[in-house]
Amino acid sequence: MKLPLYKYLYAAFDFAVIFITQIIAAFFVNIYKHPMINDYATHFADIPVALYIFFFVVSFVLVFIFQSNNLYKLHICLSKANQIVAISKSLFYGLIFVIVYSFFIKSGFILESRLFILCFGILALINFSIIRVLIIRWVIIRLYKDKIIKKNVLIIGAGKAGKFLATKLHLEDDNGISILGFLDDKIKKGVEILPNLYNLGNTDEIEEVNSNKKINEVIIAIDNITYERLLQIIDKCQAINARISLSSSLFDIISEKMVTEQYSEIPIIEVSPRVNEGINIFFKRVVDFIGALVGLVLLSPLLFIIAVIIKLTSKGPVLFTHDRVGKDGKYFKFYKFRSMTVVKDDDEERKKMMLEFMKNDKHQADNDTKIINNSRVTKIGKLIRKTSIDELPQLINVIKGEMSLVGPRPALPYEYEHYDNWQKRRVKVLPGCTGLWQISGRSNVNFNDSVVLDLFYINNMSPWLDLQIILKTIPVMLFAKGGK
């Protein structure tokens, strides 16, 4: 993993604080219930052993909630106001989880004592406000300012974007960043780009530069470049064991749709893999199979009702099946609830609209970029498309191993045939039932941006990210955001 060490330390600290705070809250509850017992050791001993397992689960979940609320991004950690707001929000969701979780496991200690919830909430907020927001934040700032902790950064691109980033980091950044220099294919080696900052070579020499200078992070800051070339440079950077980040207008959609790291208020997008690929694929497949199986069982009454309505309201099969492009460009049969009237031939009008949209990469006049032939959509089809219920049969594809719960949008064969080379990178992994594109406005994201979101997901694929996307998909479906 290439995540900075401070993220792991913060997560370990948060876990410990949450765990210990729960024990202290339970201790106070026991004192309240048994005021006549003056032996504090007895109050601790009265905490059931099973409750410690409960505390462990709650601590783990709250760390995930902290991560979801960006509490491990450095610019948040170094801001008092942003950090307190994020902590308060996280603890609120955490307390809701405690109540729901205790209900399902029938924990009498928690359910019968509102005092525990109150004590835990107040103590956790106080502990984090004092230790995390005041003390640790101050220590980190001092360590960075005194250069006791420093990060060696190499900037790829010595043009306007690269110079601007380097200047901002040099003048304004307190994050202990030490700029080693630049790499640029169009400038001779040794040319001074900024005072005391030189071009150290071209991008093919990144391994040689890394052997001479210990690189902790590479930031690619190039705007006047094609997607294809940008991704080639990212591939070259993968050769060294360093964090790879990006500051480019080509990836602006990421910072628009997600909270990213910021260096001197400049959005920085991480594009280096975080989790071992083999472990991630195995874990992902296990979760996919179990999740899809459970989903089909729980949703079976809804699926049956929708199937009956489709059959009664329009002619044709309940399920619509057609070829889609899966992992490594292999075709598979894709399942959806039929939401349109049946036609004998392929929808040539839709093909024409889609190909024009892909090549021109423009939003339609009504700012809707989900290409469909509205004249063919049935009455029930409008509802199930709006809420994405028509996508639920894809759980069958997940069980068969043809799709994942989370992944890039599966392409139609004729779409794939017209992909540029860089766009074909989205088939490196299994396509997904949901993904960053679906939770980022779906119909209001243009084609290139949808590909960028998919590529960002592939480079940042992890169990944490998958869980966040799945949780964010639920309100998107319930409130029909962006669907058509």
Task: Give mean pLDDT, residues 123-129.
Answer: 94
* Type of residue at 112: E
pLDDT at residue 150, rounded to an integer: 78
* Coarse DSSP helix, strand, coil percentages of the chain, rounded to the nearest 5 percent: 60, 10, 30
For residue 86, the Cα-to-chain-centroid distance in whole angstroms is: 17
Q: Nearest-CA neighbor of 189 among 179, 204, 178? A: 204
Residue 286 backbone phi and psi in degrees, to 5: -60, -45
Where does 151-270 sit in CATH, by number? 3.40.50.720
pLDDT value for 367: 41
Side-chain-facing half-sphere of 423: CA atoms under 13 Å: 18
Domain boundaries, the chain: 5-145, 151-270, 277-478
Listed range (140-154, 196-210, 311-325, 449-463) with the worst mean pLDDT? 140-154
256 or 168, greater pLDDT: 168
Q: What is the pLDDT of residue 365?
A: 40
Residue 443's φ and ψ, nearest 5 degrees, are -70, -15
Write out the two tokens for 414. 């004729």
Pick the range with the lowest mean pLDDT from 1-5, 70-74, 154-158, 164-168.
Answer: 1-5
Least confident of 28-42, 45-59, 436-450: 28-42
Residue 175 reports pLDDT greater than 60: yes
Both tokens of 352, joined, read 């024409």
Q: Taking the model in full, what pTM does it have?
A: 0.77
DSSP code of residue 421: T
Give yes or no for residue 441 having a pLDDT over 70. Answer: no
Per-residue pLDDT at 340 exceeds 60: yes
Q: Are 188 and 205 in contact (CB under 8 A)?
A: no
Integer Cα distance of 180 and 136 in angstroms: 28
**pLDDT on residue 158:** 92
Whole-number Å distance between alpha carbons of 230 and 221: 10
pLDDT in tens, 365-390: 444 445 666 677 888 988 888 888 99
Question: Are 157 and 220 contacting, i.e. CB atoms less than 8 angstroms apart?
Answer: yes
- Distance CA(423)–CA(101), nearest Å, equals 43
Q: Mind listing the pLDDT tens digit for each residue in 37-57?
A: 666 566 566 677 888 888 999
